């Protein structure tokens, strides 16, 4: 086996399952730090933690090759004062706790990846935002990212390399955005959202997993890294590719005013749909990482070929 131990904090969700499945054949041990007990599956074990206090889970970080922190309340909700506080605290508090614990370990993880968000950049329709020249935006989502990354990089972990992985929208069949967009297509409502000109910062779930392994193998990389597919796609083109791949010729568009009403009804924010996220993975590409899925239509065809 190539690796000794991989730890996934907050790893019981969709992305944690993707990463656990990727590393299961490659590591002796996969440890998921989760809020509830779960029976072991092969070499994948779950240890209970609350993300706020130290406990027996601390020992699981000793000797780990990599810790990936996936903690954070889902932002797909209305931004009430209560939800805003929970969104921030669910990211900042576990990050600070992990940093505190790592600083006291005898044999801390070699690499700590904090999965943050590519939404930290401004609304961009003019050119891509990369790690070197990208401009930070404004608004609540950006404030969350700022506080999140500040908490991360304020941690003193001299023996542990740190990477803030600014993640795009992960596309996969089992969960996340993709099955929801596919349901719209099936219902004949798979047209553009808003004017459809907003860019979608997306990434195939397999590139998420492989990029974390790439970062583990390349010790020269630290700091901020964008994790998005290198070929940008507009919302209207993404929906068209979905319709074509699924064999649905038409899809009703959803104008911005209707999205506003729908967002209130289903309890979300239109920013998640209408903000133009054009983000480039410059550091991954410059380091030689080869994306398995660079084009959105190729990723869609691959995901639709899976049967779950």
**CATH code of domain 3-304:** 3.40.50.720
DSSP 308: -
Residues 6+ apart with CB under 8 A from 177: 169, 170, 171
Contact 137, 122 (CB under 8 A): yes
Three-state secondary-structure class, residue 119:
helix
Phi-psi region of 247 (alpha: psi -120 to 50; beta: other; left: phi over 0): left
Would you kindly state where each structural domain of the chain is located, as residue ranges?
Answer: 3-304
**Angle at which helices 81-103 and 140-153 cross, to 10°:** 10
Contact 162, 110 (CB under 8 A): no
Q: Per residue of the chain (308 residues), what is the pLDDT tens digit?
A: 689 999 999 999 999 999 999 999 999 999 999 998 888 899 999 999 999 999 999 999 999 999 999 998 887 777 789 988 999 999 999 999 999 999 999 999 999 999 999 999 999 999 999 999 999 999 989 999 999 999 999 999 999 999 999 999 999 988 888 888 888 888 888 888 888 899 999 999 999 999 999 999 999 999 999 999 999 899 999 999 999 999 998 888 887 766 666 545 445 555 667 788 999 999 999 999 999 999 999 999 999 986 44
Strands 199-200 and 233-234, sheet pairing: antiparallel
Three-state secondary-structure class, residue 116:
strand
Sequential DSSP letters for 21-68: HHHTTTEEEEEEEESS----BTTEEEEE--SSS--GGGGGGTT-SEEE
pTM score: 0.93
- Cα dihedral 38→40→44→48 (10° resolution): 40
d(CA 79, CA 253): 25
In this structure, the number of other CB atoms found within 10 A of the CB of residue 28 comes to 12
């Amino acid at each position: 086996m190539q690796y000794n131990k991989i730890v996934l904090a907050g790893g019981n969700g969709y992305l944690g399952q993707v990463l656990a499945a990727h590393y299961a054949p490659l590591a002796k041990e996969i440890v998921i730090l989760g809020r509830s007990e779960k029976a072991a599956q092969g070499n994948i074990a779950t240890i209970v933690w609350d993300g706020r206090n130290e406990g027996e889970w601390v020992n699981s970080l000793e000797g780990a090759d990599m810790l990936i922190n996936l903690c954070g309340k889902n932002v797909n909700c209305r931004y009430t004062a209560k939800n805003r506080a929970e969104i921030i605290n669910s990211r900042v508090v576990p990050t600070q706790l992990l940093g505190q614990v790592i600083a006291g370990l005898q044999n801390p993880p070699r690499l700590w990846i904090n999965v943050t968000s590519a939404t930290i950049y401004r609304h961009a329709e003019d050119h891509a935002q990369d790690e070197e020249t990208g401009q930070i935006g404004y608004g609540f989502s950006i404030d969350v990212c700022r506080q999140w990354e500040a908490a991360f990089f304020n941690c003193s972990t001299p023996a542990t390399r740190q990477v803030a992985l600014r993640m795009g929208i992960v596309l996969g069949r089992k969960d996340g955005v993709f099955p929801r967009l596919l349901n719209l297509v099936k219902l004949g409502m798979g047209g553009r959202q808003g004017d459809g000109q907003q860019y979608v910062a997306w990434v195939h779930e397999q590139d998420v997993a492989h990029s974390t392994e790439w970062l583990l193998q390349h010790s020269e990389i630290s700091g901020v890294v964008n994790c998005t597919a290198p070929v940008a796609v507009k919302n209207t083109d993404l929906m068209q590719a979905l319709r074509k791949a699924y064999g649905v010729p038409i899809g009703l568009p959803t104008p911005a005013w209707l999205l506003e009403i729908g967002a209130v009804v289903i309890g979300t924010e239109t920013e998640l749909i209408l903000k133009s996220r054009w983000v480039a993975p410059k550091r991954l590409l410059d380091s030689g990482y080869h994306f398995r899925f660079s084009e959105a239509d190729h990723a869609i065809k691959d995901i639709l070929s899976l049967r779950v």
